[in-house]
């Protein structure tokens, strides 16, 4: 099989390090308890990437997770692209603790994977929600939050939102893009966060807020609507010219997880990319 991989920038390498560091701590702590802790990579990718900085191959999040010691009890990797799930299967060899799914994680997670991490089954899960864009349904995030057993890392793809949804004139936005945003956000309340019609005589909607305000409003929703008890301020992942590509969020029902991620996030906060 011809290897399939993405070329990634320094911000992706930082994200991979953050997630790897936390997965290692998480598995170490959970292994000491009588719980079934599982790892879920919902937008798993190919398992390896080509580093734009060094030109070398580097492990993607699935491979990093498979190398965590002590290991998770189960690994669940989902990708829409069948050649990528196949590649992960090859990387995993004959490990019986690895499950791969070719499909849309917005349907696979609620139907096949989250039910393995219920309170009744003494399940716990660390779930990565790492899309290229905003094609992640808020319903999935809410289900994870309400279960009380799942911790998530989530890429809040502000670049996709800025390019396709948050125009100065909201009337010029393609309805398809509005529908994507509503699905990602869970309703239309992002409009009230970003637009106001009281600043002009004509009652036109005008964009009045920026990236940080939108990210903070999403953080509030993770706590107040999805029900995650702990949501640290996300880390802005920036490209070489300092533009934020996405915010890396963590959300958890667990105070210890929160404390560890705060510590890791603070090491990387505002580092940006070289
Ligand atoms: C940013 S890459 C994942 C990178 C990987 N998590 C890592 O850090 O190594 C996003 C992946 O999501 C997959 N994808 C896109 N939409 C999806 C969906 N709805 N469900 C599952 N996978 C999806 C793409 O095929 C792509 O491989």
pLDDT tens for each residue of 84-137: 999 999 999 999 999 999 999 999 999 999 999 999 999 999 999 999 999 999
Residue 47: in which H helix or E strand, if any?
none
Closest approach atom of ligand 1 to CA 84: 27
> Rounded mean pLDDT of the chain?
93
Average confidence (pLDDT) over 17-33: 97
CA distance 142 to 241: 34
> Which pair of structure tokens corresponds to residue 174?
């393609």
Atom of ligand 1 minimally distant from the CA of 59: 9
Which pTM was predicted?
0.95
User: Rounded to whole angstroms, how far apart are CA atoms 132 and 146?
Assistant: 25
273 pLDDT band (50/70/90 cuts)? Answer: very low
Q: How confident is the model at residue 226 (pLDDT cuts 50, 70, 90)?
A: very high
Q: Which of 51, 59, 110, 131 to mutate to test the pocket of ligand 1 (most atoms within 8 A of CB)?
A: 131
Q: Domains in the chain, ordered, with CATH?
A: 6-158+211-268 (3.40.50.150)
134 in contact with ligand 1, CB cutoff 6 A: no
| Chain mean position to CA 61 | 11
Regarding the beta carbon of 114 and ligand 1, being less than 6 Å apart is answered no
Alpha-carbon gap, residue 130 to 139, rounded angstroms = 16
Residue 146, pLDDT > 90, answer: yes
pLDDT at 271: 67
Query: Which of the residue ranges 28-32, 40-44, 191-195 would you say has the lowest mean pLDDT?
Result: 191-195
pLDDT at residue 1, rounded to an integer: 60
DSSP string, 233-258: PPEEEE-TTS-EEEEEEEEBS-HHHH
The pair of structure tokens assigned to 141 is 């995030």
Q: Whose CA is nearest to atom 4 of ligand 1?
A: 45
Report the nearest-CA residue for atom 18 of ligand 1: 104
Indicate if the pLDDT at residue 165 is higher than 50.
yes
CB of 80 shorter than 6 A to ligand 1: yes
State pLDDT tens for residues 41-93: 999 999 988 898 898 889 999 999 999 999 999 999 999 999 999 999 999 99
Residue-level pLDDT at 270: 58
pLDDT band at 204 (very low <50, low <70, confident <90, very high): confident
Q: What is the pLDDT of residue 274?
A: 38
Q: Is the CB of 30 under 6 A from ligand 1?
A: no
DSSP string, 169-205: SGGGS-HHHHHHHHHHHSSSTHHHHHEESSSSTT---
Q: Are 215 and 156 in contact (CB under 8 A)?
A: yes
Of 125-134, 206-215, 246-255, the poorest mean pLDDT is in 206-215
Q: How far is the CA of 41 from the centre of ligand 1 (A)?
A: 9
- Ligand 1: residue whose CA is nearest its atom 2: 45
Residue 242 φ then ψ, to 5°: 80, 10
């Amino acid at each position: 099989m011809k290897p399939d991989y993405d070329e990634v920038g320094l911000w992706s390498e930082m994200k991979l390090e953050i997630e790897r560091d936390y997965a290692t701590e998480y598995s170490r702590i959970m292994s000491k308890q009588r719980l079934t802790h599982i790892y879920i990579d919902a937008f798993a990718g190919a398992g390896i990437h080509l580093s734009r900085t060094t030109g070398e191959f580097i492990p993607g999040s699935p491979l990093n997770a498979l190398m965590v010691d002590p290991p998770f009890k189960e690994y669940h990797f989902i990708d829409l692209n069948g050649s990528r799930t196949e590649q992960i299967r090859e990387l995993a060899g004959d490990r019986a603790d690895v499950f791969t799914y070719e499909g849309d994680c917005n349907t696979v997670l609620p139907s096949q994977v989250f039910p393995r991490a219920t309170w009744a089954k003494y399940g716990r899960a660390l779930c990565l929600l790492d899309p290229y864009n905003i094609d992640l349904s808020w319903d999935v995030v809410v289900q994870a939050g309400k279960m009380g057993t799942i911790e998530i890392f989530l890429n809040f793809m502000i670049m996709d939102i800025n390019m396709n949804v948050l125009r100065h004139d909201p009337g010029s936005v393609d309805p398809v893009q509005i529908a994507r945003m509503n699905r990602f956000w869970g309703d239309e309340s992002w409009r009230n966060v970003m637009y106001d019609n009281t600043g002009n005589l004509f009652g036109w909607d005008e964009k009045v807020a920026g990236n940080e305000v939108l990210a903070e409003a999403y953080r509030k929703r993770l706590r107040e609507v999805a029900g995650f008890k702990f949501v640290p301020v996300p880390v802005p992942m920036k490209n070489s010219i300092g533009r934020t590509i996405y915010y890396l969020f963590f959300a958890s029902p667990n105070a210890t997880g929160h404390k560890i991620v705060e510590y890791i996030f603070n090491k990387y906060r505002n580092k940006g990319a070289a």
